[in-house]
């Protein structure tokens, strides 16, 4: 289904895409699980099956029932280096659909060294599937991935206790692991947790309910994914970030001024009254006000548009707007963004070089890039106990911390818990130009 329709409202009502991440420790079976979802939902082409089957075992007339003939993980471990090493290095995105919904899956690394790639995959996800090996139980990576899911405000967690076949489908083993996880997760900001006993290799409770786990009365993974409700981005307060100004002034009636950018949340309609926060120094804010004259998508006018569409917006008034400015729909006080250059944020650190108080970075917030300084390190989180370690001297790779940040100029932002799209940023090392950390504004 195309995102760009002449009637965006119709698309808004019919488009149902679930973005979810698969995470877990090494060899917990993430890639195999996704391969099973693709295979059992008939989303794999014949040439792909040939590529992942053992030599001479597959032909076009076969209906494979022997799962051992397939290496389902190869459907997602697409890089040659990953196949040779037998590990997932980068985030692998896969797409499939059922009559009920479309899905975008991010298969993320389990190794500690690549945890930062899990942050990348989770940042755009509505739901997280975390796998736990039934023969091993929870481990540190399980906890670390759960903490990241909590920090990124992922409201739905599906805990798949995998490899139930190697523990003889024991209900006791399943309940013990689920209880351990519930005790740990009670300190996290996670609204909904659902537990499913599965065998990704054999297909138990992945797409179809398993006849081998009669004691489990819940849904299969696919049934849950098809039915779970996630809040769409167009239900949030309208925010449009300006990326480019298109201007043609010839002195005649064909003068053209448009603001190209992305609707990061909410819905904008022709005729809406809008405002643009205009910071005055550090402590004051004024607002430029206008109305939407029209909205264009690929040169065609539309009556309304919604997140995450990229559009050209025309205003009724002509005044100076810059790249990175935020256009918001006029509403009550609770619907307004905050404007400040001094704030606190939770940071997932992704750089081998440690984060220390006083260091400066480039901060990218949507389409605006500016310098910032780390004013203080308030605390970091102990991954095993979830205790807050106050005033840490430094933050190292894969640590999560709360920090005070001061930017060179004020930002127009929303707290991350209220609006993810306008409350996140990345920190870029000015010397190496690498992404050093991902931040969520408090």
Domain boundary assignment for the chain: 8-227, 234-335, 338-441
Number of C-beta neighbours around residue 237 at 10 A: 17
Question: What HEC string does the chain produce?
Answer: CCCCCCCHHHHHHHCCEEEEEEEECCCCCHHHHHHHHHHHCCCCCHHHHHHHECCCCCCCCCCCCCHHHECHHHHCCCCHHHHHHCCCCCCEEEEEECCCCEEEEEECCCCHHHHHHHHHHHCCCCEEEEEEECCCCCCHHHHHHHHHHHHCCCCEEEEEEECHHHHCCCHHHHHHHHHHHHHHHCCCCCCEEEEEECECCCCECCCECCCCCCCCCCCCHHHHHHHCCCCCHHHCCCEEEEEEEEEECCCCCCCEEEEEEEEEECEEECCCEEEEEEEECCCEEEEEEEEEEEEEECCEEECEEECCCEEEEEECCCCCCCCCCEEEECCCHHHCCEEEEEEEEEEEECCCCCECCCCEEEEEECCEEEEEEEEEEEEEECCCCCCEEECCCCECCCCEEEEEEEEEEEEEECCCCCCHHHCEEEEECCCCCCEEEEEEEC
What's the pLDDT score for residue 76? 59
Burial class (CB in 10 A: 0-12, 13-18, 19+), 334: exposed
What's the pLDDT score for residue 70? 57
Indicate if the pLDDT at residue 47 is higher than 70.
no
CA geometry: angle 43, 46, 50, nearest 5 deg: 120
In which region does residue 367 sit, left (phi positive, over 0), alpha (psi from -120 to 50) or beta (all else)? alpha
In whole numbers, what is the pLDDT of the chain averaged over residues?
Answer: 84
What's the pLDDT score for residue 92? 72
To the question of domain 8-227 being in CATH 3.40.50.300, the answer is yes
* Residue 134 confidence class, pLDDT cut points 50, 70, 90: very high
What's the pLDDT score for residue 35? 84
Number of C-beta neighbours around residue 186 at 10 A: 9
The percent of residues above 90 in pLDDT, for the chain, comes to 61
What's the pLDDT score for residue 1? 26
Average pLDDT (7-36) is 74
Distance of CA 332 to the CA centre of its chain: 29
Query: Do you know the residue count of the chain?
Result: 442
What's the pLDDT score for residue 309? 94
| Token representation of residue 213 | 């786990």
β-strand pairing of 127-133 with 156-162: parallel
Q: What is the pLDDT of residues 172-203, one digit of tens each?
A: 999 999 999 999 999 898 889 999 999 999 99
Residue 89 half-sphere exposure toward CB, CA atoms < 13 A: 9
Q: What is the pLDDT of residues 118-128, one digit of tens each?
A: 787 788 899 99
**Distance between CA 2 and CA 14 in Å, rounded?**
11
Number of C-beta neighbours around residue 261 at 10 A: 24
Q: What is the pLDDT of residues 344-379, one digit of tens each?
A: 999 999 999 999 999 999 999 999 999 999 999 999
**Distance between CA 311 and CA 241 in Å, rounded?**
10
> How distant, in Å, are the alpha carbons of 157, 285, 291, 293, 323 from that of 275?
37, 12, 8, 13, 15
Indicate if the pLDDT at residue 45 is higher than 80.
no
Q: 427 vs 279, which has greater pLDDT?
A: 427
CA geometry: angle 204, 97, 29, nearest 5 deg: 35
In words, the CATH class of domain 234-335 is mainly beta
> Which of 2-6, 164-168, 252-256 is modeled with the greatest confidence?
164-168
Indicate if the pLDDT at residue 24 is higher than 90.
no
What's the pLDDT score for residue 224? 97
Under a CB-based contact definition with an 8 Å cutoff, are residues 232 and 323 in contact? no
Residue-wise over 101-119: b if at least 16 C-beta within 10 A, else e?
bebbbbbbbbeeebbbbbb
The reply to whether 234-335 and 338-441 are identical in fold is: yes
Indicate if the pLDDT at residue 290 is higher than 50.
yes
**Distance between CA 407 and CA 187 in Å, rounded?**
31
What's the pLDDT score for residue 235? 82
**Distance between CA 199 and CA 426 in Å, rounded?**
37
What's the pLDDT score for residue 8? 40
Q: 232 vs 394, which has greater pLDDT?
A: 394
Could you say which architecture CATH assigns to the domain 338-441?
Beta Barrel (2.40)
Q: What is the pLDDT of residues 56-107, one digit of tens each?
A: 444 433 444 444 445 666 665 554 444 445 445 567 788 889 999 999 998 8
Nearest C-alpha neighbor of 354 from the set 429, 408, 424, 405: 429
Dihedral sign (CA 101, 420, 437, 435):
positive
pTM of the model: 0.83
| Token representation of residue 32 | 């195999």
What's the pLDDT score for residue 65? 42
> Which of 4-8, 12-16, 319-323, 380-384 is modeled with the greatest confidence?
380-384
**Distance between CA 289 and CA 277 in Å, rounded?**
9
* Residue 11 confidence class, pLDDT cut points 50, 70, 90: very low
* Residue 256 confidence class, pLDDT cut points 50, 70, 90: confident
Q: 403 vs 7, which has greater pLDDT?
A: 403
* Residue 206 confidence class, pLDDT cut points 50, 70, 90: very high
Whether the link from the prior residue into 195 is cis, omega within 30° of 0, is: no
């Amino acid at each position: 289904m195309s995102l760009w329709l002449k009637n965006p409202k119709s698309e808004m009502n019919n488009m149902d895409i679930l973005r979810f991440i698969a995470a877990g420790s090494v060899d917990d079976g993430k890639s195999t699980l996704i391969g099973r979802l693709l295979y059992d939902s008939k989303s794999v082409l014949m040439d792909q099956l040939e590529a992942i089957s053992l030599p001479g075992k597959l032909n076009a007339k076969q209906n494979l029932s022997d799962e051992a003939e397939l290496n389902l993980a190869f459907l997602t471990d697409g890089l040659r280096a990953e196949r040779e090493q037998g590990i997932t290095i980068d985030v692998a995105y896969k797409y499939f659909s059922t009559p009920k919904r479309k899905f975008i899956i991010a298969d993320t690394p389990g190794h500690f060294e690549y945890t930062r790639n899990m942050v990348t995959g989770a940042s755009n996800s509505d739901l997280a599937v975390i796998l736990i090996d039934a023969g091993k139980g929870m481990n540190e990576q399980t906890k670390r991935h759960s903490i990241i899911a909590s920090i990124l405000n992922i409201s739905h967690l599906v805990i798949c206790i995998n490899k139930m076949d190697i523990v003889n489908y024991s209900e006791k083993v399943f309940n013990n692991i689920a209880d351990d996880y519930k005790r740990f997760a009670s300190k996290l900001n996670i609204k909904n947790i659902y537990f499913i006993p599965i065998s990704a290799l054999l297909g138990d409770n992945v797409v179809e309910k398993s006849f081998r786990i009669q004691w489990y009365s819940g849904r299969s993974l696919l049934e849950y994914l098809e039915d779970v409700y996630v809040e769409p981005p167009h239900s949030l307060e309208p925010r449009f970030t300006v990326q480019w100004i298109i201007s043609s002034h010839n002195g005649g009636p064909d003068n053209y001024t448009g603001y190209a950018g992305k609707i990061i949340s909410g819905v904008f309609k022709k005729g809406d009254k809008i405002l643009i926060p205009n910071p005055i120094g550090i402590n004051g804010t004024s607002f430029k006000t206008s109305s939407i004259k029209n909205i264009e998508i690929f040169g065609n006018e539309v009556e309304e548009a919604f997140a995450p569409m990229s559009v050209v917006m025309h205003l009724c008034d002509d005044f100076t707007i810059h790249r990175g400015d935020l256009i918001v729909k006029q509403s009550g006080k609770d619907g307004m963004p905050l404007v400040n250059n001094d704030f606190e944020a939770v940071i997932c650190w992704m750089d081998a070089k440690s984060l220390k108080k006083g260091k400066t970075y480039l901060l990218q917030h949507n389409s605006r890039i500016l310098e910032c300084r780390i004013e203080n390190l308030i605390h970091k989180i102990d991954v095993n106990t979830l205790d807050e370690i106050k005033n840490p001297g430094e933050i190292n790779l894969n640590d999560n911390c709360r920090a005070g940040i001061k930017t060179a100029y004020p930002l127009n932002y929303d707290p991350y818990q209220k609006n993810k799209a306008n409350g996140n940023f990345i920190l870029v090392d000015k010397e190496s130009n690498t992404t050093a950390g991902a931040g969520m504004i408090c």
